[in-house]
Amino acid sequence: MMKYNLIGRNDFFMPIETVLDNRGINIDLFDLDTSVIEDYNHYDNMYNGIELLLKHLKNNNEIDIVGDCDVDGATSCAMIYLYIKEIYPKANLNILIHEGKYHGLSKDIHISNRTKLVILPDSSSNDHKEHEELCARGIDVLVIDHHNCDIGYSKYATVINNQLSNNVKNKELCGAGVVMKFLKALDDYLFEDKSSYYNDLCCLGNVADMMNLKSEETRYYVYQGLTNINNLFLKALIETNEFDLDGKYNIEKIGWVVAPKLNGTIRSGNQEEKMKMYEAFTSDNYEFCLETAKMCKNIKTRQDNAVKSAMNNILKTLKLNDNDKCLILEVGQNLNQSHTGLVAQKLSDKFGIPTLLYRNVEDKEDYVAGSFRGINNITKDLRNDLLKSELVEYGEGHPNAGGFEIHKDKLSKLKDYLNELYKDKEVITSKEYQVDFILQEQDIDDYLVNQLASLENEFGNGISMPLIVFENIELSLDKGNSKGRNNIVFYINDIKFIKKYASKVLKDKLYNKNIKLNIIGKCTIDTYNNTGQIEVVDMEVAQ
Ligand SMILES: [Mn+2]
């Protein structure tokens, strides 16, 4: 059953005010100017970083830039690469990327003896030991990062990091954001004005890295980057995903359409495909960018299909007992290793319980390893629960998402242990929509829909898109309501409702009968005639 909960006072005569109040924000947040930009002098080590980079550029030294393995890593790496190439076209730069899903100076990153400087955007604040090793080889290290670091500043690297800088107020800037600060400082140092050209990449990195856009400075950079697209690969991504973007490029579209293609490539692509993606971000060849954008889209489709079919296979044989408060399952042949975490997440969402998926460990008989995903209402820290059980070899990563290893003989003990630990926790399987308005058929009018649709581009990343429930809507639909590629379209009080990506199953359920529906929808702009419409998020036959 579809569950929903009204968050505020349901004042549909004042839709915008109600939505803003429900989110604890002011309308000014959507109209910012340069006054919200923080002084880059608040960052520790900014000038040391600039002088270090310029010293190596002037000496024409070989410089490695390590591209961290997510969208923030790729964009921040491209920003600094492109900026350097503009001021020093002959600069001797290499981009290095990881083989697996590692970060910073992990073992798969090989720094050659010719290298004199390593730049690490979006990573490596914690790699003190590796910095020391590079320092011993006569190699300088420049870290431009935003990750938390409990062990303070590295003695063997120049580290620019908003979390470590006590004077910096904005902790919601990601790697690409801190790199932007560095480029602004470089601009001023060199009497240049080149950094703003990369606002598009800065925006993409911040949105993809899920920075909270209640932060005014981060939001300002995001707005700048949504409207001025310069990067050829980003242009190619927008062209290639034209249909899903529906003529729009905003915070939600980056999160749901663009970023997943890039993350999918980093997660599921082979080394050559990944390298191609990082190269495309710095390419001036639009044909190559287009080809790469299509490749990324295909890899994401391949990944979605693989995950879907693995899910189906697992669900076919899966047996859960009523009292099970965790799911521990072998996924040997069924599942590509790089998709283990994605599938664990899906299973944990579906059944509402912590999920651990494992397979045999190569060269280590009797041991298995894999991915775990926790779920907040059962446990806030599954990793800690695993470690406390003293049954696992290791548990690493985040509190509710990471990897583990265990001896085969201890698997059933672990299951008993977790079932006992969570035995009083309630399992919640259906997600509850938080809605701003509950409307009956007679309340639906174009004022409300147009008002909310006009704010479509502002939502996402910490400011959720307003949702409306339409209760007990009587409809009779038939195949005349099928429009375009998989859409169902109908009108209530002259307001267009559109259900995108409607399956055949759904159409069979809805067509050729009189039905009463509860519908959850959001207000967006219909790009054909520039008016507000309702996009259906979910619906079910009313009881
Ligand atoms: Mn990041």
Residue 302 has pLDDT above 80, yes or no: yes
By CB atoms closer than 10 A (0-12, 13-18, 19+), residue 408 is: middle
Sorted by sequence, the CB contacts under 8 Å of residue 450 that are 6+ apart come out as 523, 531, 532
Domain count, the chain: 3
Average pLDDT over residues 225-234: 96
C-alpha 214 – ligand 1 centre gap (Å): 18
Residue 361 shares a structural domain with residue 470:
no
Q: What is the pLDDT of residue 219?
A: 98
Domain contains 213 = no
HSE at residue 219, side-chain half, CA atoms within 13 A, is 20
- Per-residue pLDDT band at 42 (split at 50, 70, 90): very high
Residue 382 shares a structural domain with residue 436:
no
CATH number at residue 143: 3.90.1640.30
Tens-digit pLDDT profile for residues 452-468: 999 999 999 999 999 99
Q: What is the pLDDT of residue 403?
A: 92
In 451-526 the beta strands, taken as DSSP E runs, fall at 468-477, 482-483, 487-492, 495-499, 513-526
Q: What is the pLDDT of residue 431?
A: 81
Residue 169 shares a structural domain with residue 147:
yes
- Per-residue pLDDT band at 204 (split at 50, 70, 90): very high
Residue 330 shares a structural domain with residue 397:
yes
C-alpha 175 – ligand 1 centre gap (Å): 5
What single-letter DSSP state applies at residue 256?
A: I
By CB atoms closer than 10 A (0-12, 13-18, 19+), residue 10 is: middle
Residue 281 has pLDDT above 90, yes or no: yes
Q: What is the dihedral of CA 244, 214, 195, 115, to 10 degrees?
A: -90
C-alpha 154 – ligand 1 centre gap (Å): 19
- Give the N- to C-terminal CA distance of the chain in Å, as an integer: 10
Q: What is the pLDDT of residue 521?
A: 98
CA distance 339 to 211: 25
Residue 334 has pLDDT above 80, yes or no: no
C-alpha 173 – ligand 1 centre gap (Å): 9
Domain contains 75 = yes
C-alpha 122 – ligand 1 centre gap (Å): 5
C-alpha 176 – ligand 1 centre gap (Å): 7
Asked whether the beta carbons of 340 and 357 are under 8 A apart, the reply is yes
Asked whether the beta carbons of 40 and 165 are under 8 A apart, the reply is no
CA distance 33 to 31: 7
Residue 176 shares a structural domain with residue 54:
yes
Q: What is the pLDDT of residue 387?
A: 95
Residue 16 shares a structural domain with residue 145:
no
Bigger pLDDT: 334 vs 395: 395
C-alpha 146 – ligand 1 centre gap (Å): 7
C-alpha 208 – ligand 1 centre gap (Å): 9
C-alpha 115 – ligand 1 centre gap (Å): 25
Choosing from 168, 196, 224, the residue where a domain stops is 196
CA distance 201 to 216: 18
CA distance 540 to 522: 16
What is the chain's mean pLDDT, rounded? 95
Tens-digit pLDDT profile for residues 151-202: 999 999 999 999 999 999 999 999 999 999 999 999 999 999 999 999 999 9
C-alpha 68 – ligand 1 centre gap (Å): 8
Domain contains 372 = yes
Q: What is the pLDDT of residue 8?
A: 94
Residue 179 shares a structural domain with residue 328:
no
Domain contains 381 = yes
Residue 100 has pLDDT above 80, yes or no: no
C-alpha 174 – ligand 1 centre gap (Å): 5
Beta-strand pair 62-67/115-121: parallel
Domain contains 9 = yes
C-alpha 144 – ligand 1 centre gap (Å): 10
Domain contains 307 = no
Beta-strand pair 487-492/495-499: antiparallel
CA distance 498 to 495: 10
Residue 163 shares a structural domain with residue 61:
yes
Nearest to 182 by CA among 34, 43, 37, 33: 43
Residue 417 shares a structural domain with residue 457:
no
Choosing from 154, 180, 196, the residue where a domain stops is 196
Residue 498 shares a structural domain with residue 414:
no
CA distance 290 to 248: 19
CA distance 367 to 92: 45
Domain contains 479 = yes
CATH number at residue 508: 2.40.50.460
Q: What is the pLDDT of residue 362?
A: 86
Q: Which helix (H) or strand (E) holds 447?
A: helix 446-453
Angle between helices 71-87 and 175-190 (to 10 degrees): 10
C-alpha 497 – ligand 1 centre gap (Å): 37
C-alpha 67 – ligand 1 centre gap (Å): 11
C-alpha 126 – ligand 1 centre gap (Å): 14
Residue 189 shares a structural domain with residue 46:
yes
Paired with 490 in beta bridges are 497
Paired with 6 in beta bridges are 435
- Per-residue pLDDT band at 52 (split at 50, 70, 90): very high
The first and second tokens of residue 367, run together, are 């041991």
Average pLDDT over residues 285-291: 98
The three-point CA angle 379-354-268 to 5° equals: 120
Q: What is the pLDDT of residue 258?
A: 98
Q: What is the pLDDT of residue 441?
A: 94
Residue 65 shares a structural domain with residue 155:
yes
CA distance 346 to 30: 34
Asked whether the beta carbons of 199 and 222 are under 8 A apart, the reply is no
Nearest to 252 by CA among 457, 20, 530, 532: 457
- What is the percent of the chain with per-residue pLDDT over 70, rounded to a whole number? 100
Residue at token pair 């990343």: 461
Tens-digit pLDDT profile for residues 487-508: 999 999 999 999 999 999 999 9
* Residue 500, domain extent: 3-25+431-541
Residues in the chain: 543
Residue at token pair 């969208």: 71
Average pLDDT over residues 236-254: 96
Choosing from 391, 421, 451, the residue where a domain stops is 421
Tens-digit pLDDT profile for residues 122-163: 999 999 999 999 999 999 999 999 999 989 999 999 999 999
Domain contains 142 = yes
CATH number at residue 407: 3.10.310.30
C-alpha 455 – ligand 1 centre gap (Å): 27
Q: What is the pLDDT of residue 542?
A: 85
